[in-house]
Amino acid sequence: MEFKIDERGSWISDSLEGHCFDPSLCRAIGSVLKHEGAKTIVDLGCGPGWYVRGLSDLGFDACGYDGNPYTASISADIVENGRCKTLELTVPFDLQVKYDYVLSLEVGEHIPIQFEDLFIGNLLRHCKKGLIISWGIVGQNGTGHVNCRDNDYIIDKMTSNGAVLNYTASNYLRDKASLSWFFNSIMVFNLSPKD
C-alpha cells in the first residue's frame, strides 16, 4: 500500500487503497439505529465515505469527517459532494451540532496514545443518544496500528464518560459483520439521559 500516515494517525492518500467496507455490517448498523430512533449520524473517521453513503441510502441524514486532506476528493464518487469533509479528529473541535449517533469504525487504534482522550472526547461531544465504535483489539494486525485496546479498556473509557454498553446491539452487529476484525471489536454505547 502506498500512503503516508501522519503523526496523529491520519492516513494521507488520494486513493481508496487500504479502506474496507462491510455492506452487511452497514445494513445491521442501520437496523440498530432505526431501533434506537436515530435520524442523524456522523461518521468520525469516515475514510472515503462508504458508511455515510450506506446509511444515507437507508434513509438517515449522515455525514462524515476524516483526517485525510483528500477526503472530499476520494469520497466524491461514493457519496454526494460535501457529505464527507476533512477534519483533524485528535484536536478538540465542536461542530456546533449533536448527532443522534456517532459512528467511528477502526479509527482509534491508529491514534497515538497521547491523543486518545482528545479523540474520545470529540466522539462523545457530538452524540445525543449513543455511539457505535470499533477499536482494534490488542494483537490485531493492521497498517498504522499504534494503539490497539481490549474491549474492557474501551468500555471503561466510555462508562467513565456516562455511556452504557448495549450488549444486545453490540452482539447483533458482531454477528452480522462479515469482516473479521469487527467480530471482536464493534460495540454500541447508549448515553445515559441527563437530568
Report pLDDT for 6.
Answer: 83
pLDDT tens for 86-124 read: 999 999 999 999 999 999 999 999 999 999 999 999 999
Q: Is the pLDDT of residue 1 over 60?
A: no
List the beta strands (DSSP E) in the chain.
4-5, 11-12, 40-44, 61-66, 84-86, 99-105, 127-134, 163-165, 186-191
Closest by CA to 186, choosing from 62, 103, 90, is 103
* Cα–Cα distance, 138 to 53 (Å, whole number): 30
pLDDT tens for 120-137 read: 999 999 999 999 999 999
> How many residues would you count in the chain?
195
* Cα–Cα distance, 194 to 174 (Å, whole number): 29
Q: Of the ranges 23-37, 50-64, 80-94, which one carries the lowest mean pLDDT score?
A: 80-94
Q: Which domains, ranges and CATH numbers included, belong to the chain?
A: 4-191 (3.40.50.150)
Report pLDDT for 75.
Answer: 94
pTM of the entire predicted model? 0.94
Report pLDDT for 195.
Answer: 41
Q: Is the pLDDT of residue 18 over 80?
A: no
